[in-house]
Structure 1
Amino acid sequence: MTRYEDGSPYAYSPGTVPYGVEAVNIGWLEKDSEFPRGEAPAEFVQSLALLCRDDSRNAMRGLFPCPLPHQQDPGYPVSIVVGTQEVVLGNAEVRVVDQNGRWLVAPNLVHHYVTAHSYLPPAEFVEAVTARRSAPKS
């Protein structure tokens, strides 16, 4: 996976975003990258888990492992349990819309980054995920 700065123009798979829609990167972390840290609100973490389970987009054939250092091996592939369902991370994106209509696109590994590495995404991403404003399916 490639590192993209939060808020930079979305570039991972631009052909999957409709023409005329502004889309930006959120949470594309890479080994040795600096990123904001903090405790994410519980409601956001729960909403993000549901988004990863119910509305992951732009699925890829391969799986990306977490590139960040761990004190304990997270296993491969990285996964979470949402309700009673295991959700594999590292193979798709989550896409939400901020209050201005801009798409915020993150790898679904963002859930792991938030919960295991204390990554604190930008406030507009936290707000959009918590409000459950998924981007329209194209």
Structure 2
Amino acid sequence: MTYYPDLSRYSYDQSSRDMLNVGWLSAEHGYRKGLVDERVVEALSILCASYENQMRGIHHCEFCDADRPFVFGGPAGDTKVLLGSAEIRVEGENGTCYAAPNLVLHYITEHQYCLPEEFCQAAVRAAKFEAAEELTLVE
């Protein structure tokens, strides 16, 4: 998969919006590890079912042998969503937009990737969870 540092300017595909990258990991680059609040994982599971920028190709995890990871997502948690070919996009409270590959869910749950806090806040708000300001990330 294409690597972009977290919070760098989005340039993976053309977009009419200015966005920042989150979660575009590569085995050739280190990444921040830690525990992510379960509400963030839940929010991303909900949001991944309404993905954006669906691509024809599939990106596989460079960190393990997972063969086409998936999650059960969507509002009811009953939609099987294959990871590795679409993006999750969210807008922060200050209007900043973020774009993450939906494979980011696999990175969090299987490889302890710790997302930038501002993206976590935006994802939780986008999924309409309460108390997003109380999220805790542990490095």
TM-score range, shorter chain: 0.7 to 0.9
Aligned residues: 125
- Partner of 1:12 in structure 2? 12
Partner of 2:135: none
- Of 71, 74, 77, 2:66 maps to 74
Quote the sequence identity (%): 37
| TM-score relative to the length of structure 2 | 0.84
Choose from 108, 111, 121 the match for 2:105.
111
5 Å matches for 1:6-45? 6-13=6-13, 15=14, 17-18=15-16, 21-45=17-41
After TM superposition, what 4+ stretches of structure 1 lie above 4 angstroms from structure 2?
none
Q: For the structure 1 residues 133 and 11, does the alpha-carbon distance in structure 2 shift closer, same or farther, using more than 3 Å as the test?
A: farther
Q: TM-score, normalised by structure 1?
A: 0.85
**What stretches of structure 1 of length at least 5 have no aligned partner?**
none
Tell me how far apart the structure 1 counterparts of residues 91 and 26 of structure 2 sit (CA, whole Å).
Answer: 24
Q: State how far apart, in whole Å, the 1-side matches of 2:111 and 2:56 are.
A: 25
Superposed CA RMSD: 1.5
Q: Residues 60 and 66 of structure 2 are in contact (CA less than 8 Å); yes or no, is this contact kept in structure 1? A: no
